[in-house]
Structure 1
Amino acid sequence: MAAAQIHVEAIHPALWTYTLTMHSLWVERTEALCGMAST
């Protein structure tokens, strides 16, 4: 149990960065599509 917790904490920063990056790209793409659709 403790080993699994340590593993999660070790991988978390990279996963968090990846999630934020993908979210930012998704928001930019969505805004661009909405902008083209409304134009």
Structure 2
Amino acid sequence: MKKDIKKFLNFSNILADEARLISLKYFKKKIKIKNKEEKWF
């Protein structure tokens, strides 16, 4: 059971590291936002 928890923890840390790399690409960058037309509100 302890081995499974350690494997899961290791896997979740790898996922978190990858998510950080992806999200940092877009952090504090200007992105183009397209407004909805007034009729859709």
TM-score (normalizing by structure 2) = 0.58
Distance 2:21 2:7 in 1: 21
Give me the CA root mean square deviation. Answer: 1.5
Runs of 5+ consecutive residues of structure 1 not aligned to the other structure: 1-10
After the TM superposition, list the runs of 4 or more consecutive aligned residues in structure 1 that deviate by more than 2 angstroms. Answer: none
Consecutive unaligned residues of structure 2, counting only runs of 5 or more, are 30-41
Higher helix share: 1
How many residues get paired?
A: 29
% same residue: 7
